[in-house]
Structure 1
């Protein structure tokens, strides 16, 4: 995709986000209009007071009073303008972050098509926050760059053709250099975000594989790679800052030179030494002071916009990464009228289901019926289609051919929330959040009391090792489940599934990373807790457990029956 197309899509996203807080931005625009009026009035009052003091050696005290009122109104309007934009930015970012998290949750395993979890977390947090300056400062500053300079140009056109000419000629040059440097800043921001995502992914991978790296004595190599990525991020960050300082310095130079030219000419005019006007008054003292006071105000919004312009380029670069997530379709096709699942513990029927991606059959003509309370074993090698079947069943992909009926309702027409509330999913590697064991057990389950937790732990045969922990259920656990063995973590996953009271259990190779003895003990526990549950257990193992009612194998996306002699009584 070309940069022009990407920029257009990013701009559209930013406009749509801004439209969500239209009222706040309208309020900020109104405050900006008030500031514009006070700028002109303030300069006129100051010019009158100073000229009267110099020429008549006195001034009207009421002018000072009105000047104080003007300054107060300007300060209040400025505070209200900044507050409105800051609140709008906070609301936009909060809503966008929630939308991204929900979108990624709905994508499920398909999120790895976009990036690894480290890079995705960088987008959700760092790059959403990168929009803050754009909404809280840049947007209203772009408006102020229109209001104040236009008002001052009109005043200058009425009073001094010279000041008007200087203002009119220098403003486009300031804007040109601002855009020129800003484009370079956009490219630098894109590189910075890419390096940050790489650094995040490497850090997550290093954390997850630290134990294996130590066993292989490769931790120094991994540390060196992480250091190189950190240094690359430092380098790209300094380039972004350098371009921001260059933009500010360029605008300051043009503004300072322009103000100096106006000040010199107006000063010469007061002593009647302007070329072509020798011996004549170019502008009187009041008008000269008025123009001189307005000159800094004319360039101030442009200078501030130049300082904030890199915020726009940073926001555009961040929006590109955000669009990478939002542009991935969650489910398709999807009907408009979704039906809630009325039946608890329904039958599941696959009829001639195929799933094709890039001309490759992930699933090929699947016909399968899973009855209520039936426990089914499904084995197959990596890439055979086991996880693809689970992904369809979980509703992460609905672009399949054929029919999947849940309790007689087509999955594409089913309200996914009501369907997923019936499911308990135990993956190969359980996912945890940073918190206590108790918090992880009841996360997302609503009201769960201590008695229910204790009973679930006993059924999962996890109560004994929990009691052995110094803090018990208050033991902190990281996202990687540090401090607990693989078998213990899986038993906690079983306890969490029990607490969900879901009638359908989907087990994705629950014993894949366990030693044979621990795996056998885990399967014995699963035999007890899945009684009466509709259970689909997938595994690489070609020896089904005896307590499963039926065993099937899958190969190249197609289902095959197990031969009787392949079924073992071993657990």
Structure 2
């Protein structure tokens, strides 16, 4: 009866790290072998150095000493060249891996909906920024150190036994203690690095949230509490970082102790053997001056690869922590936008919109919309209480969100990945929370083209521009720094007017505006409709609703399943 073989499972973070390095594995292996070969070149160098000093001790010299010096310098130049080439290969491989992974994160998150399993935008920014850089030390230091550990100590151990079984025995006893202790420390290092990475992500989320609400925080006088919260978060991160450093220093200290004891024992044995005080530990007639000096030169380099690996051990722990986060992010199947976001030609055909059996799920709540048909040039208001789903319907019509059920038909075609980009090329979008590019106001409205007097008048921008120190050349932040809520909404209107879209989707276009400005915004939107554009607005403004041709009343039920919206 045969026993079934147990399947060997690999930790997710290790598998993810292996996958990350797969594209550059050949370059990393080649560079690691080059560093190992460079380290092995010390063996003939040590032999030449031992020969030179042995001849000087015995009173010999001449051409042989000069030859040994020249050979030593030649091997040194070769080692320098190999290390230079290997470091270049490793650095380029690390940069390629980090850059490709960063691009993958940005490309996926730019087209995804919902939240990341890692947290908010701050955690994602920390992952794509400083956390990915933690892979570089692992690639440039740990990977080659691991290759050297697997080659150099065994070669030196063989040469040590060739000259002295006593020195070989010292190496055999002292050597395995180092990786054993490193393995024990590794578990604690991995956990500490994971906690540190999580703390960095949490601090990033906290910073993003507070920066977004900075103006409100100042108005409410909550700055002292905010500063105290940041101090606490910074102290927590410092404690996590110090715990990682303590583990790294502990492993290095123990390693240095074992290495120092091993080298000291070899030095003591060689010294007393050459003085004739010890007659054991070597073969035949004892150790020769050349053999003794050769062993002394090899002893530090027997432990050097282990010391390098120990120094880079926390680099591996940090890389595994990053790989674990990447694996969690990769495993999360985020809902994505329709289309790719590429610039394409507008979708052909009349801008006719039809919805059928449309519904979306919000946790345990289902918002079901009525079937609707919106002909080209129609003026439609979406009305209902706050939270009813008006903004969500606008997003569904724009292809910015996928319905749980049902279809949206635009210009005679179903809205899908194939048609979404071309459909959005015909849309004008006025969000309730305006967002801007980090460019000039002129660029945000007309992509750098001068603003016409007609556009400024229609969007009621004259007073806004007059109040800005540089007019339409002022540089805005992503949230429209320097603009009030009403001013930002007027800029969004100007952007829609400048693009002359076939369909305008406006979310609360008159909110936060005085009656005079709201009337001007309403007239500008209606002027777009008069030119043939379809106007769909989500609003609570009764005066704006009264100017519309069609009103869709959205009043979803709160039942977990089958809630309906009504016209």
- Tell me if the contact between 1:433 and 1:479 (Cα under 8 Å) persists in the aligned partners: yes
Single out whichever of 463-472 and 47-56 deviates more from structure 2. 463-472
Which moves more between the two structures, 395-404 or 192-201?
A: 395-404
Deviations 1:217-241 (A, max 9, x none): 3332222222222222222222222
Q: Secondary structure at the match of 2:504?
A: strand
Say whether 1:63 aligns with 2:62: no
Within 1, Cα distance between the matches of 2:148 and 2:104? Answer: 31
- Give the one of 85, 88, 96 matched to 1:83: 88
Between the aligned partners of 2:332 and 2:514, the Cα distance in structure 1 is 38
Once the two structures are overlaid, the 10-residue window that deviates more, 132-141 or 389-398, is 389-398
> Equivalents in 1 of 2:330, 2:13: separation in Å?
12
**Shift, 1:105, TM fit:** 1.3
Secondary structure at 1:131's aligned position in 2?
helix
Matched-pair contact (CA < 8 Å) for 2:338–2:420: no
In the alignment, which of 544, 552, 564 is matched to residue 558 of structure 1? 564
Name which of 101, 122, 128 aligns with 1:96.
101
Superposition deviation, residue 292 in structure 1: 2.0
Given the superposition, is the C-alpha separation of residues 45 and 335 from structure 1 closer, same or farther in structure 2, using an over 3 Å criterion?
Answer: same
Which is worse superposed, 42-51 or 277-286? 277-286
Other-structure match for 1:17: 20
**Contact kept? 1:404, 1:411, Cα under 8 Å:** yes
- Quick one: distance in 1 between partners of 2:30 and 2:501? 50
2:51 alignment partner, SS class: helix
Q: Provide the TM-score with structure 1 as the length reference.
A: 0.84
Match 1:321 to one of 321, 325, 349: 325
Helix, strand or coil at the partner of 2:554: strand
Contact 1:424 1:497 in 2 (8 A): yes
Equivalent runs, 1:454-533 vs 2, <5 Å = 457=456, 459-500=458-499, 502-514=501-513, 518-529=517-528, 531-533=531-533
Does the 8 A contact of 2:337 with 2:401 survive in 1? no
In the superposition, relative to structure 1, how do residues 113 and 546 fare at CA in structure 2: closer, same or farther (>3 Å)? farther
Cα contact 1:331–1:395 (8 A) shared by 2:
no
CA distance in 1, matches of 2:318, 2:222: 37
- The change in CA–CA distance for 1:472 and 1:365 in structure 2 (over 3 A counts) is closer
Q: Deviations over 1:46-101 (max 9, x none)?
A: 22222222224313322222211111111111122112111222222222222212
Are the aligned partners of 1:340 and 1:414 in contact in 2 as well (CA < 8 Å)? no
Q: Is the contact made by 2:47 and 2:294 (CA closer than 8 Å) also made in structure 1?
A: yes
The 5-angstrom pairing of residues 173-212 of structure 1 reads: 173-212=177-216
Q: Are 1:341 and 1:419, in contact at CA under 8 Å, matched by a contact in 2?
A: yes
Which is worse superposed, 179-188 or 267-276?
Answer: 267-276
For residues 516 and 546 of structure 1, the distance between their equivalents in structure 2, rounded to whole angstroms, comes to: 15
Aligned to 2:250: 246
C-alpha distance in 2 between matches for 1:162 and 1:498:
88
Once the two structures are TM-superposed, the CA of residue 334 in structure 1 deviates from its matched residue by 9.3
Equivalent of 2:436 in 417, 432, 440: 432
Per-residue CA deviation, residues 494-530 of structure 1 (Å, 9 max, x unaligned), is 3334455543333333444556655444333333345
**How big is the shift at 1:552?**
0.9
CA deviation string 1:467-512 (max 9, x = no partner): 5422233323333322211122222223334455543333333444
Q: Which residue is 1:40 aligned to?
A: 43
Counterpart residue number, 2:560? none
Q: In 1, Cα distance between the equivalents of 2:401 and 2:213? A: 30
User: Per-residue deviation at 1:435?
Assistant: 4.5
* In the alignment, structure 1 residue 548 sits paired with structure 2 residue 553: no
Whether 1:127 aligns to 2:127 is: no
Distance 2:177 2:291 in 1: 26
The equivalent residue for 2:534 is: 534
Please name the residue that 2:559 is paired with.
Answer: none
Distance 2:190 2:349 in 1: 53
Structure 1 range deviating more: 91-100 or 367-376:
367-376
Task: Establish whether residue 166 from structure 1 lines up as the match of residue 165 from structure 2.
Answer: no
The change in CA–CA distance for 1:46 and 1:116 in structure 2 (over 3 A counts) is: same
Match of 2:294 among 281, 290, 295: 290
Once residues 381 and 6 of structure 1 are traced to their aligned partners in structure 2, the CA distance between those partners, rounded to angstroms, is 53
1:434-469 per-position Cα deviation (integer Å, ceiling 9, x unaligned): 454345456xxxxx4524688755553335522542
Q: Displacement, 1:161?
A: 3.1
Task: Indicate the residue corresponding to 2:122 in structure 1.
Answer: 118
Q: Contact (CA 8 Å) 2:116, 2:334: kept in 1 or not?
A: no
* Distance across 2 between alignment mates of 1:14 and 1:296: 32
Root mean square deviation, CA, Å:
3.5
Gaps of 5+ in 1: 443-447, 562-571
TM-score where L is the length of structure 2: 0.85
Map of 2:55 onto structure 1? 52
CA distance in 2 between counterparts of 1:539 and 1:319 reads 46
Verify the 8 A CA contact 1:487 1:522 in the aligned structure 2: no
Residues 166-215 of structure 1 show CA distances to partners (whole Å, capped at 9, x for unaligned) of 33333332112223323222222222233333333333333333333344
Aligned to 1:225: 229
